[in-house]
């Protein structure tokens, strides 16, 4: 409860009660209480209080007790007004993602001698607030953050304060994707195939194209990511820059190899234990992957031509133990190990990735 005093008429002191403890009267609305004092006239500059408390009630019947200490009280200059400052309302606003916004802060105070200061709080940790020159609120959301936040601006004169709240809507924008640079080494006159890597904070599907070719060869895009719908296959998941589909029907290794190529992808390749673990989690039976030794018996290569940097053969494999010929194709077993196989029909694991092929000029 806050009190202020004004110069009285003879025999009274006027008390401006700013707020009840019960919260019925809002801060700054005020209610006037006049208390009769003895031996007080127009020339008095001070007065004595010989009682300890006064009870005041509002129209709703709420009461508050005003406690006084016995002693001498001095009468204030009537030009001095003790009243909370008032902050101007701020309308709801919108702003773009990755932008900042400045809001002017305006407040008034009948006591011109008061020094006002501003502060602000947000209900979102992702939004940074700064007070600039004690008259401007700078709103700076974190990079790539969008959504809504409620901000409360506060003004204080050191004794009393006032506040206003408003909503800021941060509108999402389409951020540019970020391409990842890479280097590779290949032998003279030998093509090199690799994958294209990029990220997009908005999660958009990315497509790749060649802007300029190198002076010592050509680069071509070898595949691109389709939608999550491929005829005859069911979407299984994604890992790194690739997405995977499992065939709805079983097929031979030869048919699996041809079918995946016809669809613009390839039988899945595996280059790390982590990738192998992920792909194993996608299958429920043995499934064809893109390793084979069709060209040279016993020399297994990936269908994409990428180097074989990781293998996980089952015990005793590869053993080329084909009853009707060589076991030229490889299946991924449900325990994560690999087995060379031939004349069986099992599902195919189809992979689409963002790949490229570099073809150097002759003798380069």
Token digits of residue 225: 């990511």
pLDDT reading at 3 higher than 50: no
- Give the C-alpha separation, 14 to 82, whole Å: 13
Average pLDDT of span 234-261: 91
What are 50-101's pLDDT values in tens digits?
444 455 444 455 554 555 444 444 444 444 455 778 999 999 999 999 999 9
- Give the C-alpha separation, 293 to 313, whole Å: 14
If one compares 93 and 36, the residue with the highest pLDDT of the two is 93
Q: Specify which residues 34 forms β-bridges with.
A: 14
Query: Is residue 40 helix, strand or coil?
Result: coil
What are 133-143's pLDDT values in tens digits?
999 999 999 99
Nearest to 301 by CA among 333, 328, 283: 328
Phi, psi dihedral angles at 305 (to 5 degrees): 85, -5
Q: Specify which residues 251 forms β-bridges with.
A: 346
CATH topology classification for 86-171? Immunoglobulin-like (2.60.40)
Give the domain ranges of the chain. 3-74, 86-171, 179-357
Predicted confidence band of residue 17 (pLDDT cuts 50, 70, 90): very low
pLDDT reading at 132 higher than 70: yes
Average pLDDT of span 237-261: 91
Enter the CATH code of domain 179-357.
Answer: 3.10.100.10
pLDDT reading at 36 higher than 60: no
Q: Between β-strands 93-96 and 192-195, what pairing exists: parallel, antiparallel or unpaired?
A: unpaired
What mean pLDDT is reported for the chain? 77
Query: Is residue 245 helix, strand or coil?
Result: strand
Give Cα separations from 15 to 4, 40, 72, 122 (angstroms).
Answer: 6, 15, 16, 36
What are 309-360's pLDDT values in tens digits?
999 999 988 988 766 568 899 999 999 999 998 878 999 999 987 777 778 8
Predicted confidence band of residue 239 (pLDDT cuts 50, 70, 90): confident
Q: Between β-strands 107-108 and 338-341, what pairing exists: parallel, antiparallel or unpaired?
A: unpaired
Task: Confirm if 10 and 24 have CB atoms less than 8 A apart.
Answer: no
If one compares 359 and 250, the residue with the highest pLDDT of the two is 250
Average pLDDT of span 20-45: 40
The answer for 11, left when phi > 0, alpha when psi is -120 to 50, beta otherwise, is left
pLDDT reading at 2 higher than 80: no
Give the pLDDT of residue 82.
57
Give the pLDDT of residue 323.
62
Q: How many residues does the chain have?
A: 364
Predicted confidence band of residue 10 (pLDDT cuts 50, 70, 90): very low
Give the pLDDT of residue 77.
47
Nearest to 167 by CA among 91, 240, 112, 106: 91
Give the pLDDT of residue 182.
67
Token digits of residue 272: 């790390």
- Give the C-alpha separation, 350 to 182, whole Å: 25
């Amino acid at each position: 409860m806050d009190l202020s005093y004004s110069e009285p008429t003879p025999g009274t002191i006027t008390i401006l009660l700013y707020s009840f403890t019960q919260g019925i009267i809002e801060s700054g609305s005020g209610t006037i209480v006049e208390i009769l004092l003895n031996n007080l006239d127009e020339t008095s500059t001070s007065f004595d209080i010989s009682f300890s408390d006064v009870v005041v009630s509002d129209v709703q019947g709420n009461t508050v007790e005003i406690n006084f200490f016995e002693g001498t009280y001095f009468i204030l200059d009537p030009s001095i007004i003790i009243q909370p400052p008032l902050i101007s309302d701020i309308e709801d606003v919108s702003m773009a993602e990755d932008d900042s916004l400045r809001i002017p802060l305006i407040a008034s105070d009948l006591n011109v001698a008061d020094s006002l200061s501003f502060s602000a709080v947000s209900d979102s940790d992702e939004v940074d607030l700064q007070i600039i020159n004690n008259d401007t609120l700078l709103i700076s959301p974190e990079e790539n953050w969008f959504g809504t936040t409620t901000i409360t601006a506060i003004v204080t004169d050191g004794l009393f304060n006032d506040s206003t709240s408003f909503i800021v809507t941060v509108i999402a924008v389409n951020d540019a994707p970020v391409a990842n640079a890479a280097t590779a080494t290949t032998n003279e006159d030998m093509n090199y195939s690799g994958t294209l890597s990029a990220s997009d904070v908005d999660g958009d599907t990315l497509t790749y194209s060649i802007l300029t070719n190198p002076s010592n060869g050509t680069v071509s895009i070898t595949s691109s990511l389709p939608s999550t719908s491929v005829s005859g296959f069911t979407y299984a998941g994604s890992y790194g820059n690739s997405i995977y589909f499992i065939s709805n029907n079983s097929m031979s290794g030869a048919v699996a190899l041809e079918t995946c190529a016809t669809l613009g992808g390839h039988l899945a390749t595996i280059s790390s234990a982590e990738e192998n673990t992920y792909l194993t989690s996608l299958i429920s039976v043995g499934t064809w992957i893109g390793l084979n030794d069709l060209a040279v018996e016993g020399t297994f290569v990936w269908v994409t031509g990428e180097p074989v940097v990781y293998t996980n053969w089952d015990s005793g494999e590869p053993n080329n133990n084909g009853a009707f010929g060589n076991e030229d194709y490889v299946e991924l077993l449900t325990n994560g190990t690999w087995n060379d196989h031939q004349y069986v029909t099992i599902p195919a694991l189809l992979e689409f990735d963002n790949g490229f092929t570099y073809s150097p000029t002759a003798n380069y």
